[in-house]
Amino acid sequence: MLELQALRLLPWSRVTPAGKKPGFSEETGFLNAPGTVRFFHAVEANAALGFVRVVRGPAWLGCGPHRLDVCETEDAALLLSIEHGWFGFGHWQVLDAERCRVGAVVGRHLLDEQGGCFATLWHEGAAASAIRDRHGKTLARLEPAADGTETLRFADDLATNPFLRMVLLAACILSPKR
């Protein structure tokens, strides 16, 4: 999924996971309940590639840890997780499938695995956004469509580093609607 030059992000929707019973999951340590998901499609073929699901941890007054899991569709294999801790303070950690930190998103700023800022999300015009590195070079663009979808386009000369693309994708998922 991350090797493609463009992804179409569909609007968030509510679904009930097939074959899952609502309740606390011993396997993941998080609640397993009907939830909110956002699907990804390939732009060229309009084929389903994966989805993002919202996972909430044990909460006290609704202030528990939050996590977004990005999965690939074939077998719902975990690609990456985006999470932050209690009360929603701090930054969102971007973790690969093996739960190793590959970067973070703090507001509009994207951090690498060592915590250094390597890019910033810029809003352009009424709705489009661009992620630019420290030298002003565009790494990716997020373009909204009238039907509520958004297209994430990686720069043509962007390195095929999957961890870099994970952080860029996480920033687009977390980007507020304008």
Residue that the structure tokens 């609640």 belong to = 31
For residue 151, give the CATH number of its domain. 2.40.160
| Domain membership flag for residue 35 | yes
pLDDT at res. 61: 61
Position 29 scores a pLDDT of 42
Distance in angstroms (rounded) separating the CA atoms of residues 133 and 138: 7
Using pLDDT thresholds of 50, 70 and 90, give the confidence band for residue 76.
confident
Domain for residue 16, yes or no?
yes
pLDDT digits (tens, 9 = 90+) for 90-100: 689 999 999 99
Under 8 Å CB-to-CB from 104, ≥6 apart: which residues?
Answer: 91, 92, 93, 94, 110, 111, 115, 167
Q: What is the pLDDT of residue 30?
A: 42
pLDDT above 90 coverage of the chain, percent: 51
Q: What's residue 1's pLDDT?
A: 85
Q: Tell me what pLDDT residue 86 has.
A: 64
The reply to whether 57 falls in a domain is yes
Domain holding 103, by residue range, is 6-174
For residue 126, the Cα-to-chain-centroid distance in whole angstroms is: 22
Stronger pLDDT, 19 or 70, i.e. the higher one: 70
pLDDT in the model for residue 142: 95
Greatest alpha-carbon span in the chain: 49
pLDDT averaged over the chain?
A: 83
State the pLDDT at residue 45.
81
> Is the pLDDT score of 175 beyond 90?
no
pLDDT of 85 reads 67
Cα 144 from chain centroid?
Answer: 16
The answer on pLDDT for 158 being more than 80 is yes
What pLDDT was estimated at residue 79?
95
First to last CA, the chain: 26
Domain count, the chain: 1
Is there a domain that residue 1 lies in?
A: no
The DSSP secondary structure of the chain, one letter per residue, reads -TTSSEEEEPPPEEE--TT--SEE-TTTSSEE-SEEEEEEEETTT--EEEEEEEEE---STT-S-EEEEEEETTTTEEEEEEEE-GGG-S-EEEEETTS-EEEEEETTEEE-TTS-EEEEEEEETTTEEEEEETTS-EEEEEEE-TTS-EEEEE-TT----HHHHHHHHHHHHHSPP-
